[in-house]
Structure 1
Amino acid sequence: MTVSRSIRDSLPAPVARTAKAVRARLRGLRYSYATLPVFPPAGAAPVRMLVGPTNSAGQGYAWARAARTLPGVEAVSFALHRPVAFRFADDYGVPQSWWSQSRWVRAQREHVLSSYTHVLVESLRPVLGYGGHPDAAADIAVLQEAGVNVALLFHGSDIRLPSRHAARERFSPFARKDELTDKLEIQARKHAELVESLGVPVFVSTPDLLIDVPQAQWLPVVIDPAPWAQAARPLFQKRHSTGERPVVVHVPSSARLKGTARIDEVLTGLHERGLIEYRRIADVPHAEMPSVIGAADIVVDQLGIGLYGVAAAEALAAGRIVVSYVGSDLRSRVRSLTGREVPIVEADDDTLSDVVSDLVADPGTAAAQAAAGPGFVAELHDGRRAAEVLSQWLTVKETL
């Protein structure tokens, strides 16, 4: 009998069970580190794009699919899998525990440098594995040295400067100074400096971010409208015949940034008065969300930021009445860029109660507003416009 086994045998039973579980976990990690993922083939197209590693709201995967519709383009999405309950689809990814493992880093670097002509770096996060660098600047230098075209993509808080936002928006969630605001301020300033120094093309997923990165291009978010439209039931129709109250839902991806505390306060009050049935949605897999949204009449997205994103686009595709703070500046910017009006009902902290009450009182007008949603999404967010924007970057430099 070895000394280590002798020691284990003398341990109290609960401690021994814990030690056994830890040993099993470590054996599993050693096996995982020795087994690399199957890297997807990049194809033989003249242009081969990789996008990653955040895949925020599944958009890396969606943009890769959009890019594949372009002639001569292949595209792959890569994601770093953090320990979250629900993940979005991607073409390949690895758990966060692999990120600093030398064998994985070498394999990822070899795969990327030998496979792709273009890399779209999300949120300035490293794409070649963690090498002790807090951002992707070192990776970008390696990619460019290998002749790879690099562009940056920002989703929101990774580049939005809180102090600037608080100065222009009355209900900004950044008006209150706290640890999160300070952290995001430091990150946004650092990323802005890197954007200037790197000098590569920049894309942003929502038009409001053009305030923070004026040289960027808007790369519209992409959704598949079909499942949202298929799961939707007629607005208000059942309510009047059965006496049921209109259903109002709120799905906060970030309670702080969405203004959920105020939304809860207002909608709970309307619920208690018997005007609506309020449903706060949490911990629902994304694949089940079309049925959740399709069962609602009104979707309240956010208050205070001044934008619309993936969640609002999905609700619009379902033909729901979407209530949110978009802001006149963003509405004007979208109108200028696309010629389209954003079909979202405007509300903020002060007006949300009256806005929802008026919609419930006049369902005909509300339904007419909602009817514009599916067409808006089909034109701007089904992937065709995103592919058009990416096509300006996804080219091959000719050599003499």
Structure 2
Amino acid sequence: MPNEKALPKEEGVDHTLSLLKEGYLFLANRRNTLNSKVFETRVLGKKAICLSGKEAAELFYDNKKFLRHGVVPERVIQTLFGKGGVQGLDGEEHTHRKKMFMSVMTKERLQQLADITGQQFAMAVDKWRSQEQVVLFEEMQLLLTKVACEWAGVPLSKDQIQKLSKDLTSLFETPAAVGPRNWGGRMSRNRIEKSLIELVEAIREEKVTVSADSILSIFATHRDLDNHLLDKHVVAVEILNILRPIVAVSIFVNFLALALHNYPEDRKKLETGDPAYAQMFIQEVRRFYPFFPFTGATTKESFTWKGYDFEEGTLTLLDLYGTNHDPDEWENPDKFLPERFKDWKESPFSFIPQGGGDFVMGHRCAGEWATVEILKVCLDYLVNKLTYTMPPQDLSYSMSDIPSIPKSKIILTNVEPKKG
């Protein structure tokens, strides 16, 4: 074909070890070296086409061209996502399951989530004020575990909180780990899924009564395209797809605190209580700091895009972090500038910290709105409702660790409710 072009290609047998070493910058480093937003490499023993940027993201989320089923490595399924979850579905099955998630992301439910977060934060501050120091990352895991369970309608006793919080955190801390840490993540998932399966069974057998409009009940009674109840294991996986992402917001809360510390002028602007500026600040935290490095799919059919040939069944990776730092879309992308969102024309393909595409029909994370609502409450507390000191500590974060957080996990001292 006369319009075909040879894909820029990284030579070598396999670059999985480089991916583990370079983390968030693995794709960006090759994009810069090869001077192309489309290139070929090899990871996990497979040829992989790598994409970056808005146009590439728009291509990647075209459901006529790409499939998600069977793409995620087993180590990630066994820790982060679980088997049978919405992330691995395609076509009508994905659309139907996604509607279940979107049905619980209403304005009223999101306000309820914000209210619960505020209540739990207030109680946490009462506890923190008596502590010599607060390790924010660990405390937010506990706080958000309580928030997630209350919002979803999952029963949680006081003696379960610590263990469940550690297990939920393990799900998003261990997918990229090797050896014992990854095995620990698998054990955590098995424990949580087992307890949730037992809970779903009890609900269906009417041995446990839960509110009919709770997320737990909606998921437990959801029916698939053939009008069958979802397999109880799949229900457990999907409930975890509510709980786990909420607890993972603890990563963003750490970066909120880091940004407030590093950019005091922005903190002063936030102290005015302007909700528009708070929204801009939150979005810039989500754009600027590392969260998800990339996501994957396989080509559903052979096609040509921009002169490049994509063969059916080819592993394709989309650079999430790199797209959020694409100089073609973001002016001074490596500077922290909340004002860039003031007149920003929202795009589902250029701003993709938790994935891109359409919310309802596509693969964009259904929990993105929930993330923002939680962060609004947390930011308000950190700026306007409490005082604290950040003693000397290691605030650096690694771009090779997935997920990445400040090394000190943000230590706070002298925590007190703000007076007046």
TM class by smaller structure: under 0.3
TM-score by length of 2: 0.24
TM-score by length of 1: 0.25
Structure possessing the higher relative contact order (Cα contacts under 8 Å, 6 or more residues apart): 2
